[in-house]
């Protein structure tokens, strides 16, 4: 069961975490990776999916995080796609987000249509963003 996609990986700050007896690390892309043998690390989401389907993840396949949180590797948060369908679904997410965000902002009058100029405009609003202490891993 050797499938090395993440060759570059850094040891996790807390490397006491183990799954199935294998140490878990954080890769440079914020993914969790699992060291299945000396020097051989695979993404944890691939490992979890491989265990479910009983075979390796093919190069043409991608294990997708349903909630887009790369660190949520629960089986019910993972979905096996072929690469092109995976790319399409990410585009779909963007479309859904843009559409819904636009609708909400338009409904609230934050975005409005200027009939004279025939263009959309946005009101100046003060947006307060709560500062987070931990950088999200998305």
CB of 67 to Zn ion, least distance (A): 10
CB of 88 to Zn ion, least distance (A): 11
> In the complex, which residue's CB is closest to Zn ion?
64
Closest CA to 10 of 20, 32, 18: 32
Q: Which is nearer to Zn ion, 65 or 110 (CB)?
A: 65
Q: From CA 89, how far away is CA 31, in angstroms rounded?
A: 20
Query: For binding to Zn ion (CB under 5 A), which residues are involved?
Result: 64
Q: Which is nearer to Zn ion, 23 or 79 (CB)?
A: 79
Q: Which is nearer to Zn ion, 5 or 64 (CB)?
A: 64
Positive/negative CA dihedral, 51, 72, 43, 87: positive
Start-end of H helices in 1-138: 44-53, 83-107
Q: From CA 62, how far away is CA 93, in angstroms rounded?
A: 16
CB of 44 to Zn ion, least distance (A): 15
């Amino acid at each position: 069961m050797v499938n090395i996609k993440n060759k570059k990986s850094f040891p996790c700050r807390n490397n006491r975490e183990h799954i199935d007896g294998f140490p878990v690390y954080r890769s440079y892309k914020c993914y969790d990776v699992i060291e299945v043998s000396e020097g051989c690390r695979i993404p944890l989401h691939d490992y979890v999916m491989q265990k479910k389907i009983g075979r390796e993840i093919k190069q043409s396949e991608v294990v997708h995080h349903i909630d887009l949180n790369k660190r949520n590797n629960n089986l019910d948060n993972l979905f096996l796609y072929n690469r092109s369908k995976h790319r399409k679904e990410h585009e779909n997410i963007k479309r859904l987000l843009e559409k819904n965000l636009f609708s909400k902002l338009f409904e609230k009058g934050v975005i409005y249509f200027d009939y004279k100029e025939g263009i959309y405009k946005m009101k100046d609003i003060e947006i307060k963003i709560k500062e987070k202490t931990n950088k999200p891993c998305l």
